A = this chain, B = another copy of it.
Amino acid sequence: MSSPAPAGKAPAGAGRPGGSVSGKDVRLAAETWESLFRSQVAVMRRLQAGPAFKKLPVNEYDVLFTLARCPTGKLRLNEINDHVLLSQSSLSRLVDRLEKRGLVERSTAPEDGRGILLGLTEAGLELQKDIGREHVRDIAELLLPALTAAEQQELMRLTEKLRAKLPD
């Protein structure tokens, strides 16, 4: 909140070079978000129903996945929290559960005594890869018949751009 503009009431046309925002623009944005949201829900519902997530809830898998894809293999809890749609406290307890199951390990962060570094254990990596294989198959089964490769490329490009241009 260091912007000079009044919080929560950005001037119309913010971010558009000299343009003003029409009702049409606003409606298009709302419809686009609605569509993005619904398709995400629809795909997620089907993925969750698959057998891959009987072993581990989606949110918990997502943490394992995030750690597995990270180059260093370890992440701070607050970094993970940015990735996941969960409150800080929920993530803390989710990590408790993963730790109790021996899938991850907490370690204190060097250079910051407050921070906690989270890393996968051998078992955690194993389980992630196991679920991951099945998960990827399920995804492909849903997306391949629906969109061409070019369309998938474009969808990826647009969602990446959207995410990159979000504030903060």
Taking Cβ atoms with an 8 Å cutoff, the residues of A that contact B are 8, 10, 13-16, 21, 25-33, 35-46, 50-51, 83-85, 136-137, 139-147, 149, 151-156, 158-167
Contact = CB atoms under 8 A, between A and B. Distances in A.
Contacts of A35: 155-156, 159-160, 163
Number of copies: 2
A156 to B, nearest CB: 5
For chain A, what secondary structure do more than half of its interface residues adopt (helix, strand, loop), or is it mixed? helix
Contacts of A42: 162-163, 166
Given A8-B51, A26-B136, A37-B40, A32 B166 contact: no
Nearest to A141: B10
| Nearest 9 interchain pairs by C-beta | A15-B145, A146-B165, A29-B143, A39-B159, A39-B163, A40-B40, A32-B152, A29-B140, A26-B140
A27 B158 CA distance: 18
